[in-house]
Amino acid sequence: MISSIDDLEIGNAKLIAGVDEVGRGPLAGPVIASAVILDPKKKIDNLCDSKKLSSKMRFLISKNIKMNCIEWSVGRAEVNEIDELNILQASLLAMKRAVDKLKVKPELVVVDGQYTPNIDIKKIAIIRGDNFIPSISAASIIAKVERDEEMIALDKIYPNYGFSSHKGYPTKKHIESIEQLGVTVIHRRTFSPVKKIIDKSC
């Protein structure tokens, strides 16, 4: 079992990109992935699973990553793609887009989870990799900050749904707001709570 970066079978690979996504669970908004190539000469403190950090800490660490890494990028899959493909395939598509946008091409891609995107680069899937692979942790943090900022912006376009607080996740308040205000274009219509509300209104 892989438990650290030292356990990876990296061969001669020197440029390693960590990849992670955020937004598989929400009922609304895109799924966003990030790819990060860290600079081994520049240490970045407090890299860990983004969910273990406060929003303020994530923001500060994200800025630090962007300033000190070799390269970073963000990819996304939109709500219509999530509904058309399913959330797993849409997540992998967002990851592929993030890797494809890297201007510096990695020799190895390490991905959080069980699955890897369709890319022509050596790749390894690592379960819970965002807990102990620094480049995956960095990708997790950037993706989380990017998506949270987008949901805060969408809160201004779709007021009263509470997107700035729950970020689209299926909280009681969010589901109640959909029942009262209706389904928006940023809601994932194939997700069970949303689909049930749509079916009731038909």
pLDDT 10s digits, 154-169: 999 999 999 999 999 9
**What single-letter DSSP state applies at residue 167?**
T
The answer for residues whose C-beta is within 8 angstroms of residue 175's C-beta and 6 or more apart is 27, 193, 197
Dist. CA 27–CA 88, nearest whole Å: 14
CB 27 within 8 Å of CB 100: no
- Min mean pLDDT across 10-24, 117-131, 132-146 is at 10-24
pLDDT of residue 1: 47
Task: Tell me the pLDDT band of 131, cut-offs 50, 70 and 90.
Answer: very high
Q: Which domains does the chain have, with CATH numbers?
A: 5-157 (3.30.420.10)
Q: How many CB atoms lie within 10 A of CB 103?
A: 9
- pLDDT tens by residue, 3-38: 555 555 555 567 999 999 999 999 999 999 999 999
- Report the candidate in 1, 11, 3, 7 with the shortest Cα–Cα distance to residue 106: 11
pTM for this prediction? 0.93
The pLDDT value recorded for residue 200 is 85
* CB burial of residue 36 (10 Å; 0-12, 13-18, 19+): buried
Strand partners, 126: 112
